[in-house]
Amino acid sequence: MCLTIQTRNVLADVEKVFHSNQLRETMAYTEEELKKELETKEYEYGFYTDIESDTLPKGLNEDIVRAISQKKEEPEWMTTWRLEAFAQWKKMEEPEWANVHYEKPNFQDISYYSAPNKKPKYDSLDEVDPELLDTFKKLGISIDEQKKLAGVAVDIVMDSVSVATTFKKTLAEKGIIFCSISEAIKEHPELVKKYIGSVVPAKDNFYAALNSAVFSDGSFCYIPKGVRCPMELSTYFRINQAGTGQFERTLVIADQGSYVSYLEGCTAPSRDENQLHAAVVELIALDDAEIKYSTVQNWFPGNKEGKGGVFNFVTKRGLCERSAKISWTQVETGSAVTWKYPSCILKGDHSVGEFYSIAVTNNFQQADTGTKMVHLGKNTKSTIISKGISAGKSQNSYRGLVQIGPRAENARNFSQCDSLLMGNECGAHTFPYIEAKNKSAQIEHEATTSKIGEDQIFYCNQRGIETEKAIALIVNGFSKEVLNKLPMEFAVEAQKLLEISLEGSVG
């Protein structure tokens, strides 16, 4: 019934890029040719799949919200929940405090629902829309590979509807639920009802409210008490249809003493117009549970003049109960504008929050990203390691809040924010906020800014390492502490993505 999808789909494509890159080296191109190639190469995921899709008219009102809910055959309580969120959203204004500048999306000019027309239920691969399979091929997912694939379950969200989920059976044996959120609303309403909006309430912020009203699909995961999820769970997001926004909703619940590692990858076709992506991710780690959530985000960043690209306005937050742990690891190389602060509410005593981030900006990209660590329980601990890499004319900001509540005895935080600059036209900014209401708190903050110097490049060159490779080496060294936190196959992918995102940015 389900389609098997290689988890390393992004990697496969990246590898293609990488191979052509190696080819280039051996052919000893001139710098001019290299530049030209980079200009034409730019964003390799920029193909558009012409699948018949069922798209709602542009614009947003109560009827559209109802229509989305209806199309998804949702129960009444979900429709009501969406409508309440919509009512909240109408009263809210788009936030302006972030260090990013962009033309605000016209929310009435977006289509809020676009589903591939053929129903996403397949008995075998033969039944899958051939165009869709073609898309997968372009992403480098070979069917053969899919078949022998082991160890990873993937849920693909392409233009809003979850197309396929795999390994359900293996997971089901352990009582693990891993499915699209739409399915969860129907099949597991008690869990969804209890937890959706419990960490990120609909009225939390402008984009979260919008998402709550119109979310089209996303992933749902529940790990039962004491179960260690035997494989990495993975979701893969892709925006396809023109003029659509993607509003996915992810809900991960780790019951007492359970463990799960969750991976999320993203790409989008290149288009001239900006595409909006406003996701909400909620994590719930009950007592003694651990959730590791890793993201490699490679949305289309816009072309080198800064035209097009994805607006990535995402709310990610996790709640830790007693002795629970949540780790966010992210490698962000895409999007024209990023607004994203994966956070941890350390509610339970002895709970732990971690945030490891690499954010790369090139050309005209802008990123305002960081985290919030809210210490409520006693003996809570948080670690923040943020690595910002800016090249071209991009602006890269770290914004972080460490909040220690009055009851949080012996709370500890360590933050480290490092910025690496390439060239003279980019910017790196750090906005750390600390609010401590308990005197026993220990908070440390370290920050550095450095530049990839011509001296470093020449030193590498002199040892026989060509410039692109030298940059990759330096950037990897700079990002090492974060790369080390990623699951193995993701780390390799992330390393290559870093290389590609920064190609041609020096010299």
Partner 1 sequence: MLKIENLHARVEEKEILKGINLEVKPGEVHAIMGPNGSGKSTLASVIAGREDFEVTEGSISLSGEDLGALDPEERAHAGVFLSFQYPVEIPGVTVTNFIKAAINESRKAKGLEDMPANEMLSKIREKSSLLEIDRKFLSRSLNEGFSGGEKKRNEIFQMAMLEPKLAILDETDSGLDIDALRIVANGVNKLRNKDNAIVVITHYQRLLDYIVPDHVHVLYNGRIVKSGTKELAFELEEKGYDWIKAENE
Name the residue nearer to partner 1 (CB basis): 283 or 482.
Answer: 482
459 in contact with partner 1 (CB under 8 A): yes
Minimum distance between the CB of residue 114 and partner 1, rounded to whole angstroms?
42
251 in contact with partner 1 (CB under 8 A): no
Contact in structure between 158 and 244 (CB atoms under 8 Å): no
Name the residue nearer to partner 1 (CB basis): 26 or 40.
Answer: 26
458 in contact with partner 1 (CB under 8 A): yes
- What is the pattern of x (binds partner 1, CB under 8 A) and - over residues 6-25? -------------------x
Contact in structure between 188 and 177 (CB atoms under 8 Å): yes
How many residues bind partner 1 (CB under 8 A)? The answer is 26
User: Which one of residues 27, 190, 455, 488 is an interface residue with partner 1 (CB under 8 A)?
Assistant: 455
Closest Cα to residue 332, out of 350, 353, 355, 354? Answer: 355
464 in contact with partner 1 (CB under 8 A): yes
Give phi and psi for 448, each to the nearest 5: -135, 155
Minimum distance between the CB of residue 36 and partner 1, rounded to whole angstroms?
18
Q: How many residues are recorded in the chain?
A: 507
465 in contact with partner 1 (CB under 8 A): yes
- What is the pattern of x (binds partner 1, CB under 8 A) and - over residues 467-486? x-x---xx-xxxxxx-----
Question: In the sheet where 325-332 sits, what is the strand order?
Answer: 161-165, 152-158, 232-238, 259-267, 290-298, 325-332, 352-361, 381-390, 412-421, 442-451
Give phi and psi for 305, each to the nearest 5: -90, 0
SS (H, E, C) 408-423: CCCCEEEEEEEEEECC
Minimum distance between the CB of residue 485 and partner 1, rounded to whole angstroms?
14
Minimum distance between the CB of residue 488 and partner 1, rounded to whole angstroms?
17
Return the C-alpha torsion angle 270, 162, 214, 265, nearest 10: -50
What is the largest distance, in Å, between two alpha-carbon atoms of the chain? Answer: 68
Q: Using CB under 8 A, which of the segments 64-72, 129-137, 341-349, 461-469 binds partner 1?
A: 461-469
462 in contact with partner 1 (CB under 8 A): yes
Name the residue nearer to partner 1 (CB basis): 126 or 455.
Answer: 455
Contact in structure between 336 and 364 (CB atoms under 8 Å): yes
Q: Which residues bind partner 1 (CB under 8 A)?
A: 25-26, 450, 453-456, 458-467, 469, 473-474, 476-481
